[in-house]
């Protein structure tokens, strides 16, 4: 299933590589007998991407879990990258305004601990870690045109929250990749808040939309010149046709003149057991300068008698320059 020697396969996968406490993912990887991890590794090995963006991977400061996971493949992924995510990052404030402190929803992004359900990149090509642009610390209020939540005709967030609340639930990264015999390209990775689990203020719906708006402004050059070639990859948690959230915003983003949509209408997650249905939430969107050779979603990624590896499915796109 791998791309040809002349092509690159870029993939994203919201595989549930998260646990309930720090160090537990590393424990399970090193244990060598976790059916969920084995199932996820089999899916990734089947797709065999050159660059993979994981959008639900627990972060640790020393990168031990990521290095151990990369070593599970044959050949092992020689290049890995991760930054401290906003998920679980303490704020010390009552972000969700429920009168209690220190809960997962009081973090910069929902998380049981800092690093819970972060992002990571595996690559067979070198990564220019020193050239990464990290937009994850941008305050939500500082996004031009930010649509901040309102309740009862008043701002939902007090000023103290506005002064610290970041826009990115997990992160927004622009990561340069360095093919040995070709010009560099950039992977723009993110994992957005699900547009659910909020109240009348619709703070998660609005945040999800503004996380997409940040990419729109990056594409407009508001955060500096665009790379010559790039791909946006990750979990937008937003379907242009169904589910909750600003569907029209996702549809407009997919029609952006500098992007290509290789898989229109293709669902990437299966929540039928919850009565939600199948939705398209994960994306790999190449810039217009790429030639899209092929694209697909690895189905099925769960069900039957196999391990529970979650509702999300791996999305891959083969590109050529």
Report pLDDT digits (tens) over 250-294: 999 999 999 999 999 999 999 999 899 999 999 999 999 999 999
Q: d(Cα 317, Cα 263) in Å, to the nearest integer?
A: 9
Q: Is residue 1 part of a domain?
A: no
Q: Is residue 73 part of a domain?
A: yes
Q: Is residue 288 part of a domain?
A: yes
pLDDT digits (tens, 9 = 90+) for 132-183: 999 999 999 999 999 999 999 999 999 999 999 999 999 999 999 999 989 9
Q: Is residue 68 part of a domain?
A: yes
Residue 294 vs residues 10, 29, 139, 145, 287: alpha-carbon distances, Å:
11, 32, 37, 36, 15
Q: Is residue 206 part of a domain?
A: yes
Q: Which domain holds residue 79?
A: 8-320
Q: Is residue 63 part of a domain?
A: yes
201: number of CA atoms within 13 Å, CB side? 19
The answer to whether 23 touches 64, Cβ cutoff 8 Å, is no
Q: Is residue 3 part of a domain?
A: no
Q: Is residue 234 part of a domain?
A: yes
Phi-psi region of 32 (alpha: psi -120 to 50; beta: other; left: phi over 0): left
243, pLDDT greater than 70? yes
Tokens of 51: 């660059």
Q: What average pLDDT is seen over the chain?
A: 95
Q: Tally the domains of the chain.
A: 1
pTM score of the predicted model? 0.96
Query: What is the CATH classification number for the domain harbouring 13?
Result: 3.60.10.10
If we measure between CA atoms, which residue out of 238, 305, 237 comes closest to residue 56?
Answer: 237
If we measure between CA atoms, which residue out of 317, 320, 226, 312 comes closest to residue 54?
Answer: 312
């Amino acid at each position: 299933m791998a791309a040809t020697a002349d092509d690159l396969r870029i993939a994203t996968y919201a595989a549930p590589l998260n646990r309930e406490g720090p160090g537990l993912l590393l424990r399970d990887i090193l244990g060598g007998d976790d059916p969920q991890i084995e199932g996820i590794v089999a899916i990734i090995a089947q797709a065999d991407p050159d660059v993979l963006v994981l959008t639900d991977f627990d972060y640790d400061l020393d990168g031990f879990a990521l290095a151990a996971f990369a070593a599970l493949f044959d050949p092992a992924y020689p290049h890995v990258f991760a930054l401290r995510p906003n998920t679980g990052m303490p704020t010390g404030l009552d972000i969700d305004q429920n009168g209690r402190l220190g809960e997962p929803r009081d973090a910069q992004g929902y998380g049981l601990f800092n690093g819970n359900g972060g992002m990571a990149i595996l690559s067979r090509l070198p990564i220019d870690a020193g050239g990464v642009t990290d937009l994850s610390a941008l305050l939500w209020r500082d996004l031009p045109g930010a649509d901040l939540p309102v309740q009862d005709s008043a701002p939902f967030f007090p000023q103290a929250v506005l002064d610290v609340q970041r826009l990115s639930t997990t992160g927004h990264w622009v990561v340069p990749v360095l093919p040995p015999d070709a010009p560099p390209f950039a992977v723009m990775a993110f994992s957005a808040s699900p547009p659910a689990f909020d109240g009348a203020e619709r703070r998660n719906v609005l945040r999800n939309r503004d996380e997409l708006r940040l990419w729109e402004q990056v594409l407009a050059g508001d955060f500096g010149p665009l790379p010559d070639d790039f791909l946006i990859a990750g979990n937008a948690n937003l379907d242009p046709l169904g589910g909750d959230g600003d569907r029209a915003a996702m549809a407009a983003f997919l029609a952006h003149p500098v992007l290509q949509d290789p898989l229109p209408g293709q669902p990437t997650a299966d929540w039928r057991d919850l009565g939600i249905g199948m939705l398209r939430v994960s994306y790999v969107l190449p810039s217009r300068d790429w030639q899209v050779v092929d694209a697909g979603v690895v189905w099925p990624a769960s069900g039957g008698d196999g391990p529970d590896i979650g509702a999300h499915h791996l999305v891959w796109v083969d590109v050529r320059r």
